[in-house]
Structure 1
Amino acid sequence: MRRRAETVTSLYEAAIPPVRRALVNLGAILDKAAAHFQAEGVAEADWLGARLAPDMFSLIRQVQSASDAARFLASRLSGGTAPSMADEEKSVAELRDRIDRTIAYLDSLAPAAIDGREAEPVVVTLPKAEIRFTGASYLRDFGLPNFFFHIVTAYGILRHRGAPIGKLDYLGPLDMVRFE
């Protein structure tokens, strides 16, 4: 018996599940890295403060930025207001709590809050520019790429510092289908 291929049919499905999944995976990656660095005797502040280049954000700031990007993506698409989170985390436990609070916010949004808003205006205000999108173009051209930039940069920092993580850690558990 052949199983029909799943299709993404809504703005919500294209936005929230992949962002949620990546945050869950980021939490698991942080946990795995923390266990490794603790076993190696590396101070938490040393690896949480690591960065790929001097002019890039630290690991802590990358995790905070991923959280921000996820919350702003969801609020911009739903037309709501993202919960505020102060950038005060200094430990893995605090970063995990922030990730969990971000996931809880995503879980609080019903598909109906986002679906059907593909053509609604989304305005992103940056320090030197204001960018106007539709909901669909925002998700495709800015929201998801910006979010995943911070996720993959956090992953890259941890790999660079020697954490024993790989592509499957980044991807997380896969929902594979067997076709006959």
Structure 2
Amino acid sequence: MSISLHAAVVPNWLQILHAMRRMLEKAESWASTEGIDEGDLFKTRLIEDMLPLGYQVKSCWTHSKLALDGVRSGTFSPDMSPPPTTFSACKALLDEAIAACDAVDEAELEKLADNDLVFTIGDKLRLDFTVQDFLLSFTTPNFFFHSTTTYDILRMKGLPVGKQDFLGRLRLKG
């Protein structure tokens, strides 16, 4: 059985983006009920040398919405603006990522799969990929790293979530 690049990437991103959106809604309600300061929550890191919660959510947007923009243009550079520090800003990024994933056409992605893509961070780093290798070996692992870290930070702070909250809606047979 052959699987398209779209099928290998986009439905998985959507599953987790929707789950993250629901977790943030749950976290917003929980923080309000528990009297947890939103600003403090978004500054939370798993460990000192990791970036905070808002950065983790923003990175899921980067490695989905911006990645799709990059495969179309042939270039990708991570967004270096400050991360969001509110639930509403994070939910807006997730909504934008969901809309971008919903809008990408399978045929379009297949046509782009073998194209070149250049990843850069200023003059410091350049990595040359095909679109397929960029999505499968770089962007998707980063997407899952940052979505997992988002879950881990919220869980560490006391949000009552479990594995099913992270997995979201499974694509079951039938």
TM-score normalised to the size of structure 2?
0.86
Partner in structure 1 of residue 37 of structure 2: 43
Q: How does 1:49-68 map to 2 (within 5 A)?
A: 49-68=43-62
Establish whether residue 133 from structure 1 lines up as the match of residue 123 from structure 2: no
What CA distance in whole angstroms lies between the structure 1 residues aligned with 2:45 and 2:128? 31
Give the partner amino acid of 1:39: T
Q: Which of structures 1 and 2 has the bigger CA Rg?
A: 1
What CA distance in whole angstroms lies between the structure 2 residues aligned with 1:174 and 1:19? 12
Tell me the number of residue pairs that the alignment of Structure 1 and Structure 2 aligns: 171
What CA distance in whole angstroms lies between the structure 1 residues aligned with 2:80 and 2:11? 21
**% of aligned pairs identical?**
32
More helix by share: 2
Q: What do you get for the CA RMSD once the two structures are aligned? A: 2.3
The answer (yes or no) to whether the contact 2:42–2:54 under 8 Å persists in 1 is yes
What CA distance in whole angstroms lies between the structure 2 residues aligned with 1:88 and 1:175? 31
Unmatched 5+ residue regions in structure 1? 1-6
Deviation at 1:96, TM superposition (A): 0.8
What CA distance in whole angstroms lies between the structure 1 residues aligned with 2:74 and 2:24? 29
Give the partner amino acid of 1:90: T
SS of aligned partner of 1:115: helix
What CA distance in whole angstroms lies between the structure 1 residues aligned with 2:11 and 2:159? 26
The answer (yes or no) to whether the contact 2:57–2:90 under 8 Å persists in 1 is yes
Question: Structure 1 runs of 4+ off > 4 angstroms?
Answer: 84-88
Indicate which of 148, 155, 159 corresponds to 1:159: 155
The answer (yes or no) to whether the contact 2:65–2:101 under 8 Å persists in 1 is yes
